[in-house]
Amino acid sequence: MIFVESEFAPLRTVVLAESEFGMPKVQREEDLKFLTPEARADLHTKTGMDYGDAYPENQQAWIKERESFKTVLLKHGVEVLRPRRLTAAEKKAGGDDGYANFFSRDPFFTVGNLVIEGSMRLLHRRMEVLPMRDIMQERVYPEDSIYVAAPRAAVASPDDATHGPGPFIEGGDVLVLDKHIFVGSSGLASNALGARWLEKLLRPHGYTLEIVRLQPDILHLDCALGLIRDGLMVVCAAAFKDGIPDKLRSWDRIDVTYKETTNLATNGLPLSPEVYVTDPVFRHIGDRIASRGVAVEYVDFHITRSLGGSFRCSTQPLLRKS
């Protein structure tokens, strides 16, 4: 079965990301605003290299982080699927732009029984969906679900800092709350045209879409907001240009600082309304979540976070249903 009811409905089947990254030969500083200064410096030091070749110890630690997370998922009865690795031809096709196979949240996403391939803004991520296609054939094609891809992004001139009109729509910006869909927009990932396309797709299925404007150094909506269970969220109010969405303003909220948001404090993953996963560096946040009756699991995700994503970014559910 393919269905995602909400961000916190019990997680049954999930795609857990691989750990491959080819760093672009030319780093565009305006595209790296969401990273910490340390992470930006690392990328500028080893341009054009495979991350594993540039940082072999970090690569092994990164793989271990994902395996530790997988152990927690399996412990809670979640079926874990993994993408295949990139082929040599796919890596070569990335050219100077680099390549990515490291965050499964963004290149595709699931809303209800619709599985949607996104349209990525950053050039090194444009083909990131390809390693997911085997999973689509094995698990999505046989199901009574809809499988569709967003329009290919327009080709922009090399000096266009916006990367052109898109449309861009990425899973990290898409949060599901039953029939209400929030779509983040900061200028770094999803844009208005991508949201317009998604709204056109979803409206006949009874969904309402709300664009949430973010500060220009916030990559995705899930870097500023996490829905833990009905009525409870972890959030950085300062990350929103227009304040917290009206639909969520009455919710009990666990506030985090802007600096914590940069370090992915809101990007934990609910396994159900009763269980939440985060990094031990955020134990003070986890303690506040636990005080609301939610069990908290901790996995060290330091390397993963240094690359701009965390637990939600590393996963894409195919089945979340009560």
Residue 192 has a CB neighbour count (10 Å cut-off) of 15
Nearest in space to 71 (alpha carbons), one of 297, 318, 308, 309: 297
Label residue 123 exposed, middle or buried (CB < 10 Å: 0-12, 13-18, 19+): buried
Q: Starting from the edge strand earliest in sequence, which strands make up the sheet with 11-16, in order?
A: 3-4, 315-320, 11-16, 79-81
Chain-centroid distance of CA 94 in Å reads: 21
Euclidean distance between CA atoms 105 and 118, whole angstroms: 10
Q: In the beta sheet, which residues pair with residue 79?
A: 13
pLDDT for 63 equals 98
pLDDT of 139-177, one tens digit each?
999 999 999 999 999 999 988 989 999 999 999 999 999
195: which 2 tokens? 């949201």
Residue 80 has a CB neighbour count (10 Å cut-off) of 14
pLDDT of 230-283, one tens digit each?
999 999 999 999 999 999 999 999 999 999 999 999 999 999 999 999 999 999
Label residue 217 exposed, middle or buried (CB < 10 Å: 0-12, 13-18, 19+): middle
pLDDT for 29 equals 67
pLDDT for 291 equals 98
**Phi, psi of 125, rounded to the nearest 5 degrees:** -105, 0
* Contacts of residue 52, Cβ cutoff 8 Å, sequence gap at least 6: 20, 59
* Contacts of residue 306, Cβ cutoff 8 Å, sequence gap at least 6: 35, 36, 38, 39, 42
For residue 187, the one-letter residue type is G
Backbone region of residue 146 per phi and psi (left: phi > 0; alpha: psi in -120 to 50; beta: other values): beta
Confidence band of 28 (pLDDT split at 50, 70, 90)? confident
pLDDT of 203-227, one tens digit each?
999 999 999 999 999 999 999 999 9
pLDDT for 26 equals 80
Which string of b and e fits 151-184 if b means at least 16 CB within 10 Å?
eebeeeeeeeeebeebbbbbbbbbbbbeeebbbb
Euclidean distance between CA atoms 76 and 11, whole angstroms: 9
pLDDT at 103 exceeding the cut of 90: yes
Q: Starting from the edge strand earliest in sequence, which strands make up the sheet with 108-111, in order?
A: 108-111, 114-117, 146-149
Q: In the beta sheet, which residues pair with residue 317?
A: 14
Report whether 166 contacts 191 (CB < 8 A). Answer: yes
Euclidean distance between CA atoms 110 and 5, whole angstroms: 9
Euclidean distance between CA atoms 137 and 135, whole angstroms: 5
Euclidean distance between CA atoms 10 and 14, whole angstroms: 11
Q: Which residue has the higher pLDDT, 33 or 199?
A: 199
pLDDT for 12 equals 98
pLDDT of 29-73, one tens digit each?
677 767 777 777 776 677 889 999 999 999 999 999 999 999 999
Euclidean distance between CA atoms 99 and 309, whole angstroms: 16
Report whether 39 contacts 303 (CB < 8 A). Answer: no
Q: What is the mean pLDDT of the chain?
A: 95
pLDDT for 46 equals 78
Euclidean distance between CA atoms 169 and 242, whole angstroms: 20
